[in-house]
A and B are shown apart, each in its own frame.
Chain A
Amino acid sequence: AQSVTQPDIHITVSEGASLELRCNYSYGATPYLFWYVQSPGQGLQLLLKYFSGDTLVQGIKGFEAEFKRSQSSFNLRKPSVHWSDAAEYFCVALRSNDYKLSFGAGTTVTVRA
């Protein structure tokens, strides 16, 4: 079955430290991939997307993600987190057969001072 897996439910990181959120997908072909962020009680905001081409993708708020076909992964990174990065992050795939979005379960990031 086509799916998106985020292995980490919750991550705590110190302000100023680096952050990496993991995402694996299970699809026959490479899907279109996205990372969204959701602050409490809010909608989802697109951080970045990968369709094809350069496997290192730059996004907003200093985030980047690397697509690795061999590992079926699309991990999100940020070199130095800010307290405002505390939120829930979703890895999302657009299925090419029916163009439906498939969401990972989300990773909640807590930033400690």
Chain B
Amino acid sequence: KAGVTQTPRYLIKTRGQQVTLSCSPISGHRSVSWYQQTPGQGLQFLFEYFSETQRNKGNFPGRFSGRQFSNSRSEMNVSTLELGDSALYLCASSLDVYEQFFGPGTRLTVL
């Protein structure tokens, strides 16, 4: 069974731009969660989608948004990028809430 895939793996943007990251969950998994990982703040929860509905949300500004499609694939969008948005963005999928499987992440660099 294929694992969680994330595209692109690396991304370089400039301040003020917007970016869209994609995540394809493991087949059959309906829950997709997004996390931001930075050296200073560690791993922080962004949001979780289940069956196309946002079920949980972390403490991030409205510039961070997401959605989930009917095939469970999810996208995350960050608008008006700031330098502090540079991070590894991880996506995780799960069949239930108890065990999450992580993708390799997208490394976003904001210049």
Binding site for B on A (CB under 8 A): 32, 34, 36, 41-46, 49, 51, 90, 94, 98-101, 103, 105-106
- Please, which residue of chain B has its CB at the minimum distance from the CB of A45? B102
Identify which of B12-20, B73-81, B92-100 touches chain A: B92-100
> Closest approach, in angstroms, between the C-beta of B84 and any C-beta of chain A?
19
> Closest approach, in angstroms, between the C-beta of A35 and any C-beta of chain B?
12
A5 vs B43: C-alpha distance when bound (angstroms): 13
The answer to whether A32 touches B98, judged by C-beta atoms less than 8 angstroms apart, is yes
A46 contacts which chain B residues (CB < 8 A)?
99-101
Q: A43-B102, A45-B102, A49-B99 are in contact. Are A101 and B42 (CB under 8 A)?
A: no
Q: How many residues of chain B are within 8 Å of chain A by beta carbon?
A: 22
Q: A42-B105, A98-B56 are in contact. Are A103 and B98 (CB under 8 A)?
A: no
Which has the most chain B C-beta neighbours within 10 Å: A36, A43, A98, A100?
A43
**With an 8 A cutoff between CB atoms, is B107 at the interface?**
yes
- Please, which residue of chain B has its CB at the minimum distance from the CB of A102? B45
B104 contacts which chain A residues (CB < 8 A)?
41-43
**With an 8 A cutoff between CB atoms, is B32 at the interface?**
no
A32 vs B33: C-alpha distance when bound (angstroms): 17
> Closest approach, in angstroms, between the C-beta of A58 and any C-beta of chain B?
16
> Closest approach, in angstroms, between the C-beta of B104 and any C-beta of chain A?
5
The answer to whether B45 touches A101, judged by C-beta atoms less than 8 angstroms apart, is yes
A44 vs B92: C-alpha distance when bound (angstroms): 9
Contact for B45 among A36, A49, A51, A100, CB less than 8 A: A100
A90 vs B102: C-alpha distance when bound (angstroms): 13
**With an 8 A cutoff between CB atoms, is B4 at the interface?**
yes
**With an 8 A cutoff between CB atoms, is B21 at the interface?**
no
Jot down 8 A-B pairs with beta carbons below 8 A, ordered by A.
Answer: A36-B102, A41-B105, A42-B104, A44-B90, A46-B99, A100-B58, A101-B33, A101-B45
